[in-house]
């Protein structure tokens, strides 16, 4: 089984307007609602690969009910801890030409220590040896940066595999607990380590620093340039297939989805990253908030190129 943990999900509401005007009442020509959250995006990609997953995290109020029903309508399993208040709603206003936008993100509901303990206990009861957990996104109010580290510790106790996709202090503290893999992008690695990331050698050195902190394996996503994998034994560059990019938003989450899907199938880490890169490219080639599905991902995987990088 694959589980995706999203501590601070959101209802994403997008309104399209003819043009951006301030101090004026605008009329939306289109509107849409999406189920926002990095872990949810991973679950959606897994569904496109005909794989099951269970979405875990905190939900609250009417917005939380909307998210749960929406995920279930997609055939995604859910097992949430319910908290007081209201799951956040993030609002985007975009122009029809997509040349301007405004986005406002709410903070999310306050999650107290009792509810945090409840979620940790739930994870403790669900975790089984050899299963895969994706821990993704930011923390809601009241939840400290060490929460993912606490989750990784629980998963390691059960010999389950943790894939961590977060930033900043939450990433650093998570690395200390030795997750199976972490997946920052180059800018996030730079922000955490202070090391330059201007070329492959520098990115590899920065990834090595995350392994020194404790992460067992590091994948650094590099957008349309693919990704770098750094392990104890070797470093690989995985070059993305050429696509006509339409919307790169969510491509990083799809990369994680393709990666964890392949790992759950017993595919080697290097080849699994190829599936991840193909999945990210598939999503980036689609319009709106669509995610890649298996036929397209399988076709793009044929064009993924691997290059072994020799560290000095």
Known catalytic residues are 253
With H, G, I as helix, E, B as strand and everything else as coil, classify residue 36: strand
Q: SS3 for 218-246, per residue?
A: EEEECHHHCEEEECCCCEEEEECCCCCCC
- Closest to 78 in 3D by CA, of 135, 10, 6, 139: 6
- Closest to 309 in 3D by CA, of 220, 215, 242: 220
Give bridge partners of residue 88 from the DSSP assignment.
Answer: 10
Q: What is the DSSP letter of 287?
A: S
What span, in angstroms and rounded, lies between the C-alpha atoms of 144 and 111?
A: 10
What span, in angstroms and rounded, lies between the C-alpha atoms of 81 and 5?
A: 11
């Amino acid at each position: 089984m694959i589980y995706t943990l999203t501590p601070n999900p959101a209802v994403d509401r997008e309104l399209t307007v003819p043009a951006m005007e301030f101090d004026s009442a605008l009329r939306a020509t289109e509107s849409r609602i999406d189920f926002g959250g990095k872990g949810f995006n991973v679950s959606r990609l897994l569904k496109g690969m005909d794989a099951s997953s269970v979405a875990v995290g905190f939900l609250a109020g009417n917005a939380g009910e909307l998210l749960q029903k929406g995920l279930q309508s997609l055939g995604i399993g859910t097992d949430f801890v319910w908290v007081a208040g209201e799951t956040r709603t993030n609002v985007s206003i975009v122009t029809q030409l997509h040349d301007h936008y405004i986005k406002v993100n709410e903070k999310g509901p306050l999650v107290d220590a009792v509810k945090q303990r409840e979620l940790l206990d739930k994870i403790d009861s669900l975790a089984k040896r050899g299963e895969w957990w994706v821990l993704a996104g930011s923390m809601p109010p009241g939840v400290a940066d060490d929460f993912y580290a606490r989750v990784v510790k629980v998963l390691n106790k059960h010999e389950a595999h943790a894939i961590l996709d977060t930033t900043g202090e939450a990433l650093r503290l998570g690395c200390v607990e030795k997750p199976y893999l972490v997946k920052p992008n180059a800018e996030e690695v730079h922000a955490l380590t202070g090391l330059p990331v201007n070329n492959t050698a520098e990115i590899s050195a920065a990834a090595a620093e995350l392994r020194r902190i404790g992460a067992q394996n590091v994948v650094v996503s590099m957008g349309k340039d693919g990704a770098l994998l750094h392990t104890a034994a070797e470093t690989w560059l995985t070059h993305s297939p050429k696509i006509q990019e339409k919307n790169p938003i969510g491509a990083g989450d799809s990369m994680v989805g393709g990666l964890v899907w392949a790992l759950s199938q017993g595919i080697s880490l290097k080849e699994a990253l190829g599936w991840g890169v193909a999945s990210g490219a598939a999503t980036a080639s689609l319009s709106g908030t669509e995610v890649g599905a298996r036929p397209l991902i399988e076709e793009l995987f044929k064009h993924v190129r691997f290059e072994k990088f020799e560290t000095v």
